[in-house]
Amino acid sequence: MAKSKNEVVKMKAEKIISKKTFGRGLDVGTGNFCVAYSKNDQIETKLIRDAFVVIEADKHKLKMLNDRKEDYILKDDKIFLIGDKAKVYANIFGNRYPLRRPLAKGVLNPDEKDSHFVIREILKSLLGKPQCENEIVYFSVPAEPLDASFNQIFHENKFIALLNGLGFDGRPINEAKAIVYSDTVDLNYTAICLSFGAGMLNSCVSYEGDTSDLEFSLTKPGKAVNKKESYGCGDWIDMNAALAVGKETHEIIDIKEESTLNLMAPETEEHFAITVYYRNLIKYLLANLKNGLDNLENIPRFNVPVPIIISGGTSLAKGFKELFEAELKKYTLPFQIGEIRLANDQLRAVATGALVAAMAEYED
């Protein structure tokens, strides 16, 4: 009997890497792009912050960037600084060199005119050339959002076109489902997988790799405190915490990424504000998860407690798991919850799971 696609993917995930194989996994994130690939019987990854600034080009700047091997694109006498260096420039110079984002709320940013050009160059840098004709690249896409409407079809097809134009075979995979493949081998692919990204929350409930009708995403847990429309998820935390304490958003991002922040024991006013919005975000997810499960026509009946796997850059903050556990106790889901654990690599889990799906396509 022929094996189903889920069975083939699961078999490949159990071995992860057994031999030299083709295929790539790509996490298309609002905060970071990450590619995973097989090399020397190991999974390797490359990650770049999904942001850029534009500065005037001159020979001196180009020499410095080349000497330091910084990521940049030269176009029409303009330097497009990519990744962490862009964040540094934006932090130092503020409005002179504002940080720009090719993606917003998990999809292409409709307000950023250079997004398609910048993304194409980032993909070229991350992926390099195909190892074989039309090498398969599974790339992450959000599930249908419960709290917003946007052109998800355009986003998905644009990335297919971009990847195909670079000589690859681009194929979409749900972001949370990719975590099933990367982090639930030991759980028989049965878990609730949650991805807390910079732009979106993605969720799926998986039973042995089947996530049918159990996938959804969320973009934002409400308006910013100044009543303007806000970005989603991690960006929403940054924006609101900054407004609450009179800081710039990039200052809050720096504080979030420093080692002294602990969501279970905030020490400063900035830490407290960040914790407030983290807690609000988690509450928003859990309320929607409960509502979505309660309204299913066929609620899954699990005979064992279902574990929860947490991933995504927003979940990197110290104390996130403990804060999540504390809030989860306030909700009753239609089945029993087991252990709650962080993904093996929260920034790279989606790309790794997408790689597993891509490699499975080359199995006999």
Place of tokens 């001159």: 58
Q: Which residues lie below 8 Å from residue 234, measured CB to CB, with a gap of 6+? A: 30, 31, 196, 197, 198, 199, 312, 313, 314
Nearest C-alpha neighbor of 209 from the set 5, 2, 4, 6: 6
Mean pLDDT, 10 residues at a time, over the chain (364 residues)?
44 48 92 91 90 89 89 89 86 82 79 86 92 95 79 86 96 95 94 90 89 77 46 84 90 85 94 95 91 80 92 94 96 92 96 95 81
Instruction: Quote the CA–CA distance of 38 and 17 in Å, as a whole number.
Output: 7
Residue environment code for 284-313, b if the CB has 16+ CB neighbours within 10 A, otherwise e: bbbebbeebbeeeeeebeeeeebbbbbbbb
**Residues forming beta bridges with residue 289, ordered by sequence position:** none
In the chain the domains, ranked by start, together with CATH numbers, are: 5-50+101-360 (3.30.420.40), 51-100 (no CATH)
0.85 surpassed by pTM: yes
Nearest C-alpha neighbor of 354 from the set 105, 144, 160, 177: 177
Instruction: Quote the CA–CA distance of 292 and 262 in Å, as a whole number.
Output: 30
Q: Which residues lie below 8 Å from residue 149, measured CB to CB, with a gap of 6+? A: none
